[in-house]
């Protein structure tokens, strides 16, 4: 019974020794080996032989591109507006030893670095500039942290701004401001329209007055010409004036009689007498 237990223990020991001495690193990973607590070497993908119980695989690091989702955070712009933003970073481990020993947790370090740099960049911008300059923010962010992550054996492949928007309170304020601005523009537009209408109306009155004046001048000129012609035709002093007055008198009676809704024909009582006197004087 005791011999069987020893045999089982020996077999388990051999399997454990074999597992610790022969290691296979999968593609896309690199392993850090320490000997007695000190860095020994980096294992590349493939089969490797280690010294059991002396050499130990301390870290397993993926060499694929890492996608790091940067948590959402509030950022205050230079004009004291509150924005909510988050980002995503694509990082690749290019120096496994530096990534392991250069920082405690390189993924957490990159996330914190992106967050602090993002706050600094947006904090140096006005609200409108921050909302409309996503590509500029991305470029500045990448340039500001690329050297830092390189010290940790990392390569920053890309960093993208996933979202940047005003906080709910700020968004409500912006909506109220936009509504007030639209109302102001509508008021200005209406005032401009009223102003133009008043100017056009005044110009129309001025033009009408000018035309009325021109008509009066032409009528006066025509009346003067008529008086001149009548005077030449009727040499006596009173006859031209009487002739013109009689003509206007007859015209006024005719207009009155032909007015809309008029059913009465007016015939002056002194018309015959006036014509008789004119004709008699003419003879």
Confidence band (pLDDT; 50, 70, 90) for 218?
confident
- Predicted pLDDT at 194: 85
* CATH class of the domain comprising 66-166: alpha beta
Average pLDDT value for residue range 45-66: 90
Average pLDDT over residues 82-107: 91
pLDDT higher than threshold 80 for residue 98: yes
pLDDT at residue 1, rounded to an integer: 61
| Mean pLDDT, rounded, of the chain | 81
Phi, psi (degrees; rounded to nearest 5) at 173: -65, -40
| Token pair in block for residue 179 | 């509504």
Supply the angle between the helices 238-257 and 271-282 in degrees, to the nearest 10. Answer: 150
| pLDDT of residue 97 exceeding 80 | yes
Q: From edge to edge, which strands make up the β-sheet containing 38-43? A: 38-43, 29-35, 55-62
What is the full DSSP assignment across 199-245?
Answer: HHHHHHHHHHHHHHHHHHHHHHHHHHHHHHHHHHH--SSHHHHHHHH
Mean local confidence (pLDDT), 200-205: 85
Sequence spans of domains, the chain: 2-62, 66-166, 234-283
What pLDDT digit, counting tens, does each position of 239-253 carry? 555 666 666 666 766
What is the percent of the chain with per-residue pLDDT over 90, rounded to a whole number? 30
pLDDT score, position 259: 61
Does position 170 have pLDDT exceeding 80, yes or no? no
Beta-strand relationship, 29-35 and 38-43? antiparallel
Q: Where is average pLDDT lowest: 28-42, 169-183, 263-277? A: 263-277
Note the pTM of the prediction, 2 decimals.
0.58
- What's the rounded mean pLDDT across residues 5-24? 81
Looking at residue 11, its pLDDT comes to: 82
Higher pLDDT, 278 or 65: 65
Mean pLDDT, rounded, for 132-137: 89
**Which stretches within 36-150 are classed as H helix?**
96-101, 106-123, 127-132, 134-150
């Amino acid at each position: 019974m005791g011999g069987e237990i020893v045999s089982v223990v020996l077999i388990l020991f051999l399997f454990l020794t074999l597992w610790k001495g022969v290691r296979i690193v999968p593609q896309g990973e690199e392993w850090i080996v320490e000997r007695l607590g000190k860095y020994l070497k980096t294992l590349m993908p493939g089969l490797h032989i280690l010294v059991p119980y002396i050499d130990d695989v301390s870290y397993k690091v993926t060499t694929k591109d890492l996608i790091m989702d940067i948590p959402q955070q509030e950022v205050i712009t230079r004009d004291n507006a509150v924005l909510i933003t988050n980002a995503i970073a694509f990082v690749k481990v290019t120096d496994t030893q530096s990534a392991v020993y250069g920082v405690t947790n390189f993924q957490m370090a990159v996330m914190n670095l992106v967050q602090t740099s993002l706050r600094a960049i947006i904090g140096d911008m006005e609200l409108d500039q921050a909302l409309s300059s996503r590509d500029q923010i991305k470029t500045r962010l990448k340039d500001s942290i690329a050297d830092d992550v390189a010290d940790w054996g990392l390569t920053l492949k890309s960093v993208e701004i996933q979202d940047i928007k005003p906080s709910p309170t700020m968004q409500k304020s912006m909506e109220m401001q936009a509504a007030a601005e639209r109302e102001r523009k509508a008021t200005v537009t209406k005032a401009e329209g009223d102003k133009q209408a008043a100017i056009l109306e005044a110009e129309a009155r001025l033009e009408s007055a000018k035309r009325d004046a021109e008509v009066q001048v032409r009528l006066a000129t025509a009346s003067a010409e008529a008086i001149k012609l009548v005077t030449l035709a009727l040499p006596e002093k009173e006859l031209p004036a009487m002739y013109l007055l009689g003509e206007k008198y007859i015209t006024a009676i005719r207009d009155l009689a032909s007015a809309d809704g008029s059913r009465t024909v007016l015939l002056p009582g002194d018309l015959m007498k006036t014509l008789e006197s004119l004709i008699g004087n003419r003879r």
